[in-house]
Every structure is written in C-alpha cells, then in structure tokens.
Chains A and B, each alone.
Chain A
Amino acid sequence: MGVIEKVPAYIERIPGGGIVTTSMDWVLNESRASSMWYMLFGLACCAIEMMATGASRYDFDRFGMIFRASPRQSDLMFVAGTVTHKMAKRVKVLHEQMAEPRYVIAMGGCACNGGPFYYDCYSVLKGIDKVIPVDVYIPGCPPRPESLMQGCIKLQEKIKREKLSDWASDRPMPDRTIV
C-alpha cells in the first residue's frame, strides 16, 4: 500500500479531520475508479469477448482502462473463461502478485460458478470465488461487451463507496512476502 493509505488513521483523530479524509476519499476513489488497468490475460472464449471490448467498437480506453502485461502494475483482473483446477493455482499466484488495491471481476458463467461445466465435470473449478475474492459477477456465456462494461461501471460504483478509514482499520498493512 502506498504512503497515503496510512494517513487517514492519524488525521481522523484531529478535530475536523473528517472533512479532509472525506475529500481525500473522493479524490482517491475517483482516481482508482477511473484508472483501472486490467491484466492482460484470458482463459477461454470469454477472453475473445474481452478483446472485442478493448478494440475499436467498444473501447475500454474510454473508461481509462488499459491493459498491463505485468500483474504488478494492474489493478483489475478479469477472470475471463473456464478455470480448471490446474489453472486455478496459476490464477491465484497472479492475484497474489497484483499490488493492492486489486479487484477481480468474474466474467461469464464459468468463472462465476463453473457454468456449463457445473455438473458432471472433473476438471473445472466451480467458481473462481473459491480461490480468490471476487468483486463483481457478470453472467453470460460469454457476456456481451456491453455486459462487461456494465460490470466495470458496477465495480466503479463499489470503488467509489470505499472509505480510506475502512482500509486503514479493516485491512491492516498486508505483511506479505512478495512472491
């Protein structure tokens, strides 16, 4: 976490510090929400639709979303497609490599719940939320580009509701080893 994350815990103790943190919340949440860099990886057919969303007709760049190949620099991970048990381990590692704050969107039925592979399937994980925390679920097989964008707008709403003080108190500085 950046330096800014620690500040509100101290400011809130000062009388009148609430105003400062509220405006800081606003600035930081706006910047987080309008600059979600997503990770360049896809797992199955949903990835094709994700590429279509990034291309000219639907253009993710309008929301300030560009892809980064490195998980360190990305804020958002689209789990786009069928997650097999074998792949789930890799997805988990990628999620751990992402720097906080990080968000996950489960795109399509397979990532939400196993999708068409929910019954009678030995290889597919029944929902990526068994492995990593998911913020927004988008149904569809695969979802239209508009659905994906609506999911992103939904996530932006969620980000804009966040409070720095929650971050500081609820989520302590993760003392994790960076793999």
Chain B
Amino acid sequence: MTKEEIAIKLKDKFGSELEILETNQPEAYVYISPARYHELCQFLKEAPEFDFDYLFQLGGVHYPEDRFELVLCFSSHERRHNMILKVKLDKDNPQIVTTSDIWMAANWYEREAAELFGIKFVGHPDPRHLLLDDDWDSGYPLRKGWTGPDFISMPEK
C-alpha cells in the first residue's frame, strides 16, 4: 500500500482521534491520541491489509516546552510497506500503555525509553533497567537539560 492509501484507511477507522502529518517522506506519518493508541497498534498488527508484523524502532523524543513524543516505526515483511506512528504524551507525567503484548520487540525498546526518558509504560511485564546500571539514580539522561554526575556539556563556540 502507498502512504496515501494507509492514511485514508486509518482516517476512515479512527476519525478525529487520528492526525495525518503531511511530509515528503516515503512513509505515512500518523499522530494518534493516547487513548486509542493500543487499539490502533493491535489493528495495525492484525488487520490483514496492513500486517505490520515488524516493529523496528520505538523511541522517545523530549520537547522541553510542552510534550514528550513516542515514535514507533513499523514495517511489513509480507506487504513491504512502512509507516511511522507518533503519540504525544504529557509533559509532566508521560505515561502510556505498553505494546509489548503486541510486538515482542517492543519489550526492550520500551525498557530503553523508560529508563532514558522516564516514560512510564503501564502494564510492562519487565520494568527493569536495560542499558543503565541497576543502581542508577540520577534521573533520565536523554531529557533536555539533564545534568548528572561526571557530565560536561559542550563549551560554547
């Protein structure tokens, strides 16, 4: 499916909860409201015309003014199309339901996003640290403006 077809089909199903982003990229860019995020993911995985069986990236973005964003990139091995899904999260209490029950791959990605951005994944089966030390206690290092022990910011040039 082309990105336009994906966008139209999703818009039909989710209506105003879904927002299509106009880009010149080859993939469809879609914003979804957190309330229907899990439902959409389930749909993308299981609907035969989409068949997004491969989650190859899940990461967070910190916009220090107003929000966090979660970015998911999927691909379909069968149908050979890609799409990118974004979710806007709350600035102070970023929280979203886990998708690790849909894609196995989401498990580790979500652990990574959880420890580096402080996004809470509700219902995650294994919320331990993945990359950072087990006794790491100096915050979420990929948030903007983070400083911690042994951190030196680049000098002004």
Which A positions have Cβ atoms within 8 angstroms of B? 85-86, 89, 118-123, 125-126
CB distance from B138 to the nearest CB of A (A): 8
Q: How large is the interface on B (under 10, 10 to 19, 20 to 34, 35 or more residues)?
A: 10 to 19
Contact of A122 (CB < 8 Å), options: B151, B154, B155: B151
Are the C-beta atoms of A125 and B155 separated by less than 8 Å? no
CB of B62 to closest CB in A, whole Å: 13
Q: Given A85-B133, A86-B132, A86-B133, are A125 and B153 neighbors across the interface (CB < 8 Å)?
A: no
Complex contacts, B154 vs chain A, CB 8 Å: 119-120
In the assembled complex, how far is the CB of residue A92 from the closest CB belonging to chain B, in whole angstroms?
13
Interface of B (DSSP majority class): loop
Chain B residues packing against A (C-beta within 8 Å) = 131-133, 141-142, 146, 148, 150-155
Q: Which residues of A contact B155 (CB under 8 A)?
A: 119
Chain B: which residue is nearest A88 at the CB level? B133
Q: In the bound complex, how far is the Cα of B156 from the Cα of A173, in angstroms?
A: 49
CB pair A125–B150 under 8 Å, yes or no, is yes
The complex places the Cα of A126 from the Cα of B131 at a distance, in Å, of 18
Complex Cα gap A84–B46 (Å) = 40
Distance A119 CA – B150 CA, assembled complex (angstroms): 10
Q: A85-B133, A86-B132, A86-B133 are in contact. Are A122 and B153 (CB under 8 A)?
A: no
